[in-house]
């Protein structure tokens, strides 16, 4: 893919740059709980500063417009000198932008606080573009959304990908041409959102392991009892896949039932049970397949990670980290497990994207990519 990147533009001196960054990180009690994504945004910001640009850092956090990026600012401002703008279009903000020196950085409040951002309102895109001369997108994890700050702004000013964005595209493209023997591991929930990626990956990968709540949908489709386990509201596509010989599912599961936590085979699950993780035999089976694979692609936890059922996810993270082949991983809880174990450097590539990673692998592009390519130059 010929993706325009920041090094393709030769004139940054004094230019105002609308820098869309991936700032959506978990915040607990007003403190950033995981700074993995923030570590990835500083490279492009510092490069632009060194080129004499005036960098306007824009991003979002959480699902609610009222959520604030101030905790993120507190983290980034310890790494990079920057000022804070609480809004976008006030006279005070215009004064701040006008007073910026070359190499200066101004970070803005949550862009989703603006009406029309998530709807890609054309007028908002135009107003945001008027703040800058050049657009840079380094927010790969947000670029599967056709929002004003992702696709609206670059219709008005020249647009380029930042270093992390370009790295994501280059590395994830490798996942679409896997070396054999290859293994794709998919966890998490919501089968309807994962069905497109499964359809793409099944012809490409030698084996596909489905874990997490997604496995419950496959169990149910084959007539196996799943009890009180989490299942998808819309899993129609599962019937296309349930008999595919490439698909692997857990051979034992951890359940929570009337008698507490137990390990069972899937056919022993009771109507009162809830499947919450893969069992030890599944971990052993999957670890052996990882060891034999030349390429592993993994997205999504294999258990209910948020409720503390992290054993299989962490065990598989260790197994993949020790494998000698290519390893490409992503997804919020998957990356959280890798970060917790201190294993990031043991993987070929750890993506900042969750849904964006899956959408790119399914479609070989994203709305944010298309917007960069189509922007005026």
Bridge partner list, 16? 54
pTM comes to: 0.93
201 pLDDT more than 70: yes
For range 320-325, the mean pLDDT = 94
Q: Mean pLDDT score of the chain, rounded to an integer?
A: 96
The CATH topology of domain 6-167 is: Rossmann fold (3.40.50)
* Residue extent(s) of CATH 3.40.50.1260 domains in the chain: 6-167, 180-324
CA dihedral sign of residues 155, 158, 162, 167: positive
Instruction: Tell me the per-residue pLDDT of 248-272, one tens digit each, with 9 for 90 and over.
Output: 999 999 999 776 679 999 999 999 9
- How big is the chain by its Cα radius of gyration, in Å? 22
Instruction: Tell me the per-residue pLDDT of 329-359, one tens digit each, with 9 for 90 and over.
Output: 998 889 999 999 999 999 999 999 999 999 9
180-324 is classed CATH 3.40.50.1260: yes
227 pLDDT more than 70: yes
315-319-325 Cα angle (round to 5): 155
Bridge partner list, 263? 254
Euclidean distance between CA atoms 13 and 280, whole angstroms: 57
pLDDT on residue 260: 66
* pLDDT band at residue 236 under the 50/70/90 scheme: confident
Contacts 24+ apart (CB under 8 A), 286-292: 286/185, 286/209, 286/248, 286/316, 286/319, 287/315, 287/316, 287/319, 289/183, 289/207, 289/209, 289/248, 290/183, 290/316, 290/319, 290/320, 290/323, 291/319, 291/322, 291/323, 292/181
The token pair that represents 94 in the structure block: 């215009």
């Amino acid at each position: 893919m010929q993706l325009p990147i920041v090094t393709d533009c030769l004139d940054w001196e004094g230019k105002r740059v609308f820098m869309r960054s991936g700032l959506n990180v978990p915040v607990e009690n007003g403190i950033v709980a995981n700074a993995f994504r923030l570590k990835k945004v500083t490279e492009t910001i510092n490069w632009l500063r060194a080129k004499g640009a005036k960098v306007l850092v824009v991003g979002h956090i959480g699902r609610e417009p009222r959520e604030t990026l101030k905790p993120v600012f507190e983290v980034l401002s310890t790494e990079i000198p920057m000022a804070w703008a609480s809004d976008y279009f006030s006279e005070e903000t215009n004064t701040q932008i006008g007073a910026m020196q070359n190499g200066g950085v101004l970070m803005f409040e949550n862009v989703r606080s603006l009406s029309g951002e998530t709807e890609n309102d054309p007028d908002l895109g135009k107003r945001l573009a008027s703040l800058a001369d050049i657009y840079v997108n380094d927010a790969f994890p947000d670029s599967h959304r056709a929002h004003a700050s992702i696709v609206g702004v670059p219709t008005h000013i020249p647009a380029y990908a930042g270093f992390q964005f370009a790295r994501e595209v280059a590395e994830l493209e490798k996942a679409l041409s896997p070396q054999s023997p290859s293994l794709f591991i998919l966890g998490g929930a919501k089968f309807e959102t994962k069905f497109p990626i499964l359809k793409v990956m099944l012809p490409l990968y030698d084996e596909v392991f489905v874990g997490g709540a997604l496995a419950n949908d496959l169990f149910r489709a084959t007539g196996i009892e799943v009890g009180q386990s989490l299942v998808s509201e819309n899993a129609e596509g599962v019937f296309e896949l349930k008999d595919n010989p490439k698909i692997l599912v857990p051979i034992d599961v951890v359940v929570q039932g009337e008698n507490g936590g137990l390990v069972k085979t899937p056919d022993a699950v009771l109507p009162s049970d809830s499947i919450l993780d893969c069992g030890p035999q599944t971990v052993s089976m999957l670890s052996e397949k990882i060891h034999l694979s030349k390429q592993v692609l993994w997205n999504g936890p294999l258990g209910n990670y948020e409720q503390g059922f992290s054993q299989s996810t962490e065990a598989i993270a260790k197994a993949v980290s020790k494998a000698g082949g290519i390893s490409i991983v992503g997804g919020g809880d998957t990356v959280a497990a890798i970060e917790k174990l201190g294993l990031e450097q043991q993987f070929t590539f750890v993506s900042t994207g969750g849904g964006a990673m899956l959408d790119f692998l399914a479609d070989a592009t994203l709305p944010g990519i298309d917007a960069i390519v189509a922007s005026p130059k």
